[in-house]
Every structure is written in C-alpha cells, then in structure tokens.
Amino acid sequence: MSTIQFILETTKPYRKYLWGMFFAICIVSIDANVKWYIIKRLIDTAVMPGATDFWYLVVIFAVFQILLLLAWSFSDWCAIRFTSDFRTYVASFLANKVGTFSYSFFQNNLSGSIVAKINDAFNLIPAIIFTANYQFVHCALTALIALVLLANVHVLFAVRLLLWMITFFVIVYVGFKKARPLTAAYAESKSEVFGHLSDYFTNMLNVKLFSTSFFEMKRFQNASKDYVNQAQAQGYFLMKFYVLQGAVFSVYTIGFLLFLVHLHNCNVISPGDFALVFMANFRIVDKLFELSHQLRDFITNWGSVDQALTLLKGAPEIQDVPNAAALIVTHGQIVFDHVKFNYKGAEPLFDNTAVTIEPGQKIGLVGYSGGGKTTFVNLILRLYDVTYGRIYIDGIDSKQVTQDSLRANIGMIPQDSSLFHRSLMENIRYGKIDANDEEVIEASKRAHAHEFIEKLPKGYESLVGERGVKLSGGQRQRIAIARAILKNAPILILDEATSQLDSITENYIQKSLQELMAGKTTIVIAHRLSTLLHMDRILVFDAGKIVADGTHGELLAQNSLYKTLWDAQVGGFLPDRHEENL
C-alpha cells in the first residue's frame, strides 16, 4: 500500500474535518486576493478627486478581516478534532497489522525499530496532511485567483506568473523524485538507531553486570555512522535543491519588477494596478519561497512514512484460511502425521515425524538442547507452519482453525516468563481477561504467588516493571503458573516450568501442577529428569528425531539415549552433548 493509498484509506472516518479545513483555507485564499483588490481600489480612489466609495471599501475590508479570523478559528477546531483521534487510529491500525505477523518476524526485527516506524506514522502523517492543505492547497488557490486578477490588469502579468509557477513545480517534482530514495534510506537508518537504543535499554541488566556501557556506546556510535551519512546525503541534496529554487525566485522577482516599472512609466497601468500586481506577485513569491522551505520537511516526512509503511508490505507467513472455524477441544488428542519442518535456510529438523498423544496423556520431552523439543511444541501452537504433513487436534487439522481459537485451548508456561509492565493483577488476569479479582487471587494461591504478592507495598496493584524486571525469576515463573491455572485450557504445555524455583516452593508447585494437569493432555519439557518420573510417556529427541518412546522404566530398560542421559545427569540436570564425551 502506497503512502497516498494509506492516507486516503485511513482518513475516511475523518473526511468531514478534512473538508472543514479545506473550506477554511479556501476562505483564507479568497480573503488574501480580495484584500489586494480592495487595496488597489482604495489607492485608485484616494488619488481620484471627488471619490465617494472610500469608506464603503473600508467596511468591506473589515468584513473580510472578520471572515479571516472565523475561518482560521474553524480550521483550528477541525484540526484539533482530526488529530486527536486520527493519530491513535493510525497507531492502532499499524499495531493491529504487525500483531498478525508470524512469531519469526519479531525474532528477526528489533522491537525498537518497529515502534520507531509506527511513531513516525503516528506523528508525520498529520504533518503531511496539514502541509498539503495549509501550504500546497492554499498556495494553489491563492495563485489561481491571483492569475485572474493579474490578467485583468495585463495579460502578460498572468502569463509570466503561470510560466514561472510551472517551472517551479517541475523543479519540485524532479527534486521530489530524486529525493525519495535518499529520504527512505535516511528513515531506515533512523529506525535502526532507535532499534539499537531499545536493545541497549532492554538489556540494561547485562550491561550493568558485564560493565559494558562503554562498549555499547561505541557500538551505538558505529550504528549511528550510517544514519549520519544518510542524513548528510539527504541534507546536501536538499541544500542544492533549495539553492536552485532560490535562483528561480530571484530571476522571476527581478524580471517582473522591471516589467512592472516599465509599464507604469509608460502609463499603461494605474497606481492601484501597480500596487495590486506588486503585492500579488510578492505574495505568491513569498508563499512559494515558504513552500520551498516546507518541502524539505515534507520530503523528509514523506520518506519516513514511506519507510514506516513497509510494515504493511509483507503478508503474515502464517494466516488463517478463509472461513476458518473456531477450534473446540473436547478430548485433547494431538497427532503429528508425517510432519516435516525446517527453519529458513537451515537443515530439516523434523523429517516424516509421526506420533500420537492420546487425550489426557502426560508426555515428557527430553533430549539435548537443539534437539527439537521446543520446536515440537511451537508447531502445536502453530507459531510456525509445518513444511509437509499435518498436525491434528481432536482429528481437526490445526491449519483449518483460527490461530486464536487454537491457542485459546492451550495453556503454556514458558521457561522464561516475560510479563507486561502492568500490575500483578493485570498480568495474572491475562490468562482469563474476564476473570474477577477473587478468581485471580485463588489462582495465585494455587501457584504459591499470593504469599509474596501480599508482602508488596501495593499488593496485587504493584507494577512489575518492563518484562517483569522488578520480580525474581522464581516470582515471575509463579505468576506465569498462576496465569495458566486461571486459563485452565484443556491442553497444557510446560517448558521447564519450575526450573527457577527453590526446592521447597517447587514441591508445593508440583502439587498444584498435578491438580492442573488432571484430565488435561499435558506436554512437559524438562532437563531435570526427576520431574518426569510420573509421566505416562517420555519422548526422547535427538536432532529432530524421536529416538525413543516409553515410560521412565521402559526407557531405562532399553539402554537407550534416555538411559545415557539419566546416568550422566548431575544434580538432576542433563549435560550438554559435548559433556557426554568428556
């Protein structure tokens, strides 16, 4: 979608305010030209003996002055009504679009860069619209009316002004066309700078722990070099562009003034005509000169918005099929039907994987890091689409249902629990948006989070900080468990859900998790194998393949990779692959 198309589409609900601003600027443009004509008449009347309409002209001038005040006031009212809603509409429009993108998009793009682009659209699109109305439209209308007035004095004045304006706008068009790639590169480099800043602030704990603020600032300066180069390239081009425009202005101004003096000396025009032509031309020159200054900002803003709207160009990799149904899980069976999958540019991770998880089964996933455990559950969640094959939930292809309904039926407790910078109450309620306070507190008690929450100065209304930085890892994990308890989905996925808890708290939590798992199809990823002893089945992953499938006792008896991992385990955790060979 081009910038013009986007502006036309998003301004539809606000057209009445735009028409109001356009109407007001029409009044302003008419007022300016009529006043020039009234001044001409006043001058001619003043030099004519016995003239009687002098005060009549003064009254008309005063009326138009009042109209000018009313027009600008109405225009300001429309502008306020327009911008107050339109900016948030643009931001929500883009945020909603970006929200439909696949999870991989957010893995490959800095959040700060995305936010910077939305911020550019938020601020600059209204600025573009205002420039178009208050500069371009105003200038065009003023010039059009001025041409008519000048033609009444002498046709050559109108012809000269028209030719000069055509020259000016040809220069503007050519300059704008050449400046677009420069402004696009400038805007992209600017968003990259904000992306680096966001990455720096988000990881401030690491910066403090490793004392790397100097390194980060050096890295930021290196990243800023491209921005500086792009800004200078754009600036130098616009400077040359402005010099060229200034030369055109100067040539025209001197030319029309000489021609005006010549006609006056030849008694072709009256003193009032002289004043009218002089004021009209200098008004147009002044407006276009002002416009040339505005054009620099306009071109820069346009390039920034162009770059911001690249967010709309890519279609989501994972989309709901047309008329996708809402999934309703009644049993919780999960079937991988000859599934193949690989990440972009990587070797296949799953190749013809076939496995069935029966309703209500408790399944453990073990294996070396990178073996495919997390990818396995991400495919169930449809954060990625399989390359070949199908994944069925209760016999329904997961691609044939809406993503929202699929994930609404799956409770997920991740290893690294990330929270919103909101209150604890809001973060826990995220598991069930319409839950009341009593339900939230009950879920917190079952997750053994209520104890530490009560001790906080503001209790459940305490803010947790960005990504939950005000809480310990164990506290964040208990909040994530409380959310899952509150959600109470028929399918449950635990990814090292208790890895950051102390042994005593973990013992309490395990009891709550056992209650939560009751009657649910549950998948548990664990490096601490002791947490899987009571699983119905354990799937052992190695390089994307399920190399063993059975209970804890069966897998130990098979002398499989699972037994190797069990024997090599130290303190209840799996070693990395290289440690096995030490």
* Residues whose CB falls within 8 Å of the CB of residue 416, separated by 6 or more in sequence, listed in order: none
**Can you read off the two tokens belonging to residue 525?**
């990823």
pLDDT at 581: 42
Could you report the per-residue pLDDT of 341-361, keeping only the tens digit for each? 888 777 778 888 899 999 999
Helices (H), 447-502: 450-454, 473-487
Residue whose tokens read 């007001």: 24
Query: Band of the pLDDT at 215, cuts 50, 70, 90?
Result: confident
Q: Taking 60 as the threshold, does the pLDDT of residue 559 lie above it?
A: yes
Determine the average pLDDT of the residues in 212-222: 78
User: Which pLDDT does position 393 carry in this prediction?
Assistant: 93
CA distance 553 to 499: 23
CA distances from 557 to 454, 529, 540, 545, 554 (A): 48, 16, 14, 20, 5
| Winning range, highest mean pLDDT, from 119-133, 142-156, 561-575 | 119-133
Q: How confident is the model at residue 1 (pLDDT cuts 50, 70, 90)?
A: low
Residue 526: its pLDDT value, please?
Answer: 81
Looking at residue 361, its pLDDT comes to 92
Instruction: Give pLDDT tens digits for 15-44.
Output: 999 999 999 988 888 877 777 667 766 666
Query: CA nearest 103: which of 376, 383, 374, 490?
Result: 383
Strands 537-542 and 545-550: antiparallel
Q: Where are the beta strands (DSSP E) in 109-221?
A: none
Two tokens, residue 570:
């130290």
Residue 55: band (very low, low, confident or very high) from pLDDT cuts 50, 70, 90:
low
pLDDT at 362: 93
- Quick: pLDDT tens for 389-444: 999 999 999 999 998 899 889 988 887 777 888 899 998 988 888 889 999 999 99
What is the reported pLDDT for 572?
A: 47
Using CA atoms, how far apart are residues 340 and 311, in angstroms rounded to an integer?
Answer: 30
- How far, in Å, CA of 511 to CA of 505, rounded? 10
pLDDT at residue 315 in the model: 67
Q: Name the DSSP letter for residue 132.
A: I
Pair 202, 467: CB distance under 8 Å: yes
Report the alpha-carbon distance of residue 580 to residue 569 in Å, rounded: 10
Residue that is written with structure tokens 């959040």 in the block: 111
Q: What percent of the chain has pLDDT over 90?
A: 14
Please, what is the average pLDDT of the chain?
Answer: 81
Q: Residue 59: exposed, middle, or buried by beta-carbon count in 10 A (0-12, 13-18, 19+)?
A: exposed
The Cα-based distances of 131 to 30, 90, 170 in angstroms read 19, 18, 19
All residues at 6 or more sequence positions from 297 whose CB lies less than 8 Å from its CB, including other chains: 127, 131
Residue-level pLDDT at 85: 85
The band of 50, judged by pLDDT with boundaries at 50, 70 and 90, is: low
